[in-house]
A and B are shown apart, each in its own frame.
Chain A
Amino acid sequence: DQQVKQNSPSLSVQEGRISILNCDYTNSMFDYFLWYKKYPAEGPTFLISISSIKDKNEDGRFTVFLNKSAKHLSLHIVPSQPGDSAVYFCAARLTDSWGKLQFGAGTQVVVTP
């Protein structure tokens, strides 16, 4: 039973525009949420995270929003660049779980010139 869901397998966006990636979760015991980026033939790299006690975290071009009542988080990338073309994974950590993460299925982002 997938507790973290990314319902959009792919997203195409024009260079310079905003990319919005969405993620839904079902477990209220998640206390930390993360976004990872993955290029082909490489391991995922950490992008940005947010604690469940916050509703927004910003780091440069990347902003993550958390709506706890809707059990929904989103990643905004502004402006999108060609190097942002990758698979993005949403992940969530259960409280008191030795740092175990539950991952979504991923969203393939393609940034077009």
Chain B
Amino acid sequence: DVKVTQSSRYLVKRTGEKVFLECVQDMDHENMFWYRQDPGLGLRLIYFSYDVKMKEKGDIPEGYSVSREKKERFSLILESASTNQTSMYLCASSLETDRAEQYFGPGTRLTVT
């Protein structure tokens, strides 16, 4: 079974803090993704990576950056957290094949106060 783990289930940070969210997958997947989920908006793609050190902006990259130094690990960074970044953050990974399934981690509920 594919396993995607995220470093924290719940986080509370203050406005202006730098926040690191870590994601690790154990199935040698090429692609990794960061989403945020907000009520009524579904999942929105923040950034994705299709290879080590390669990254592409998703639909809502503003205020975020990412890092992928190793194939299994994809980090999301909030350079200066703001209250509008309070959300559920979901990491996913997938193989580079014709099948499109992404496998998700359990999510990190981030609250910025």
CB of A46 within 8 A of CB of B40, answer: no
CB of A100 within 8 A of CB of B58, answer: yes
Contact of A45 among B50, B94, B104, B109 (CB under 8 A): B104
Contact of A44 among B9, B45, B90, B94 (CB under 8 A): B90
- Chain B residues within 8 Å of A42, by CB: 106-107
Docked complex Cα distance between A105 and B47 (Å): 19
Partner-contacting stretch, out of B14-22, B72-80, B95-103: B95-103
Output the nearest chain B residue to A6 by Cβ-Cβ distance.
B42
CB of B48 within 8 A of CB of A43, answer: no
Docked complex Cα distance between A102 and B103 (Å): 15
CB of B42 within 8 A of CB of A100, answer: no
CB of A105 within 8 A of CB of B42, answer: yes
B11 within 8 A of A: no
Docked complex Cα distance between A51 and B64 (Å): 33
Known: A44-B43, A89-B43. A101 touches B100 (CB 8 A): yes
Output the nearest chain B residue to A42 by Cβ-Cβ distance.
B106
Number of interface residues of A (CB under 8 A): 25
CB of B96 within 8 A of CB of A99, answer: yes
Q: Which of B4, B9, B42, B98 has the most CB of A within 10 A?
A: B42
Residues of chain A having any CB pair with chain B under 8 Å = 4, 6, 9, 32, 34, 36, 41-46, 49, 89, 91, 93, 98-106
Residues of chain B having any CB pair with chain A under 8 Å = 4, 9, 31, 33, 35, 40-45, 48, 50, 56, 58, 90, 92, 94, 96, 98-107, 109
Closest 5 CB pairs of A and B: A43-B104, A103-B43, A105-B42, A103-B42, A98-B50
Can you report 25 residue pairs joining A to B where beta carbons are below 8 Å apart? A32-B99, A34-B101, A41-B9, A41-B106, A43-B4, A43-B106, A43-B107, A49-B100, A98-B31, A98-B56, A98-B96, A99-B31, A99-B94, A99-B100, A99-B102, A100-B48, A100-B58, A101-B43, A101-B45, A101-B100, A103-B44, A104-B42, A105-B40, A105-B42, A106-B42
